[in-house]
Amino acid sequence: MKNKFLIIGAILFTFNLQSQEISDTSFGKGLINFTAKDSTFSVKFAPRFQVRSMSSWDHNGDIYESGEHNFIVRRARLKFDGFAYNKNLIYKIELGLSNRDISGANDFNRNTPRYILDAVLKWKFAKNWEFWAGQTKLPGNVERVVSSGNLQLIDRSLLNSRFNIDRDLGIQLRHKSKLGDEFLIREKLSLSQGEGRNVSEGNIGGLQYTARLEMLPFGAFKSKGDYSQSDLKREERPKLMLGFTYNFNEDAVRERGFAGDYMIRNDESFYETDQTTIFVDAMYKHNAFSFMGEYAKRTADDEVATEADGVTPTGDIVLTGNALNLQAGYLFDNNYEIAARYTTVKYEEVTNKLPTIQYTLGVNKFIVGHKLKIQSDISYTTEDNESDNMTFRVGFDLHF
């Protein structure tokens, strides 16, 4: 309850800054924008939420079983960003309110809801250089770094849900440079805690190291379109981003590094093993057509967790394997879009998980870009080449 009062208080504080100058704004550019009269800080407040309906049918040999149907508030978030002291010191705070946003209480975050998604400072300390500190997304696969509000389909792919490296608490160093007039290169380095967001009770195991290289041979996308799905800006010239990420989580104690169960032994010590994840991805846009491709692979020194004797299995297994995700869409003149996705996931045999293939077809209607849109998609998923599941989803996004 105390946390809820703090959130409400933050909102009221924003609304009560009447002594400050209010910049012009419109729908989709933040509910409220404030800039101090002496230009020492700014605040943009932008709430957003997503409502979804999902129907799912499992296949049982010859027929589909009775379906499961539900409605959920998939995401509900409050976002604050701006600059502090001067325009080279930027901050972002994002809070989650939906059940999916705040779930994950455990002994390592004092068994409390995980309200904080992002709390990060970004310092532009020199030309083309930035230093980040706090909790935010790591420079992982492009699909994960794309905001959930800027997705082309209802939600991210199986590749992302199984192998992404998500958010963590630590520091990042970012740099960009040009080769010639257009060829843009961006380097991103991160040193983080290694166990995901909102861990407050110590750090078990080692640290997490991430490096990402991005190459944009035809120059920058419009409006940072390399990290927004669908070609809403209708790029007149081809734009391409090629990315490679290497992530090393030293002595990881969770089944997926940043997430999953803690691998706890009977003597209450932790099983530790090095985990390595790589991503190779691309984003392409031209004349209302968009394409995104990703490959992910996770390995571990020893996937099977053992007791202190080094022999007896604990039952925990690191989720290792690889995945491929291909996604494309075309935006028509009336702002309707058709999109399709193909995803394969292959696990290491030791995980005892079956290889999975998923086909997804979606239809979108953009009313105010990604800020106000209606989406629907249907997915057919097979495990081990046997029909398994059909899922239909529909929903809307509202972002101030």
| Structure confidence by residue, pLDDT tens digits, 121-137 | 999 999 999 999 999 99
Checking if the pLDDT of 208 tops 60, the result is: yes
- Contact in structure between 314 and 265 (CB atoms under 8 Å): yes
- Which segments of 97-196 does DSSP mark as H helices, in order? 99-102, 142-145, 158-163
Q: What is the mean predicted confidence (pLDDT) over 283-310?
A: 97
Output the pLDDT for position 18: 45
Checking if the pLDDT of 21 tops 90, the result is: no
Two tokens, residue 332: 């028509």
- What ranges make up the beta strands (E) of 9-157? 21-22, 32-35, 42-60, 63-64, 68-84, 86-96, 116-126, 129-137
Domains of the chain: 2-399 (2.40.160.10)
What are the beta bridge partners of residue 340? 328, 361
CA 9 distance to own-chain centroid: 28
Q: What is the mean predicted confidence (pLDDT) over 353-381?
A: 97
Checking if the pLDDT of 205 tops 60, the result is: yes
Distances (CA, A) of 306 to 114, 249, 273, 303, 350: 30, 19, 11, 9, 14
Mean per-residue pLDDT of the chain? 92
Give the range among 34-38, 143-147, 151-155, 174-178 with minimum mean pLDDT. Answer: 34-38
- What ranges make up the beta strands (E) of 217-371? 239-252, 273-286, 289-300, 304-306, 313-317, 321-331, 336-347, 356-368
103-117 residue pLDDT tens: 988 888 889 999 999
Q: How far apart are CA 220 and CA 182, in angstroms?
A: 8
Output the pLDDT for position 17: 47
Burial class (CB in 10 A: 0-12, 13-18, 19+), 210: buried
Checking if the pLDDT of 159 tops 90, the result is: yes
Output the pLDDT for position 13: 52
Q: How far apart are CA 376 and CA 396, in angstroms?
A: 9
Output the pLDDT for position 201: 82
Checking if the pLDDT of 179 tops 80, the result is: yes
State which H helix or E strand residue 10 sits in: helix 2-15
Q: Which phi and psi angles does 224 have, rounded to 5°?
A: 55, 40
Q: What is the mean predicted confidence (pLDDT) over 166-194?
A: 97
Q: Running DSSP on this structure, what letter comes out for residue 65?
A: P
> Residue 3: pLDDT band by 50, 70, 90 thresholds?
low
Output the pLDDT for position 381: 95
> Residue 19: pLDDT band by 50, 70, 90 thresholds?
very low
75-104 residue pLDDT tens: 999 999 999 999 999 999 999 999 999 998
Q: What is the mean predicted confidence (pLDDT) over 314-342?
A: 98
Identify residue 152 by its one-letter amino acid code: Q
Q: Running DSSP on this structure, what letter comes out for residue 370?
A: B
- pTM for this prediction: 0.92
Count other Cβ atoms within 10 Å, centred on residue 268: 6
Output the pLDDT for position 398: 97
Output the pLDDT for position 10: 53
> Residue 387: pLDDT band by 50, 70, 90 thresholds?
confident
Q: How far apart are CA 357 and CA 347, in angstroms?
A: 12
Q: Running DSSP on this structure, what letter comes out for residue 85?
A: S
Name the nearest CA neighbour of 163 among 284, 322, 269, 291.
322
> Residue 24: pLDDT band by 50, 70, 90 thresholds?
low
Q: How far apart are CA 352 and CA 343, in angstroms?
A: 19
Checking if the pLDDT of 148 tops 90, the result is: yes
Output the pLDDT for position 382: 94
**Cα distance from N-terminal residue to C-terminal residue, the chain:** 26
Q: How far apart are CA 248 and CA 208, in angstroms?
A: 6
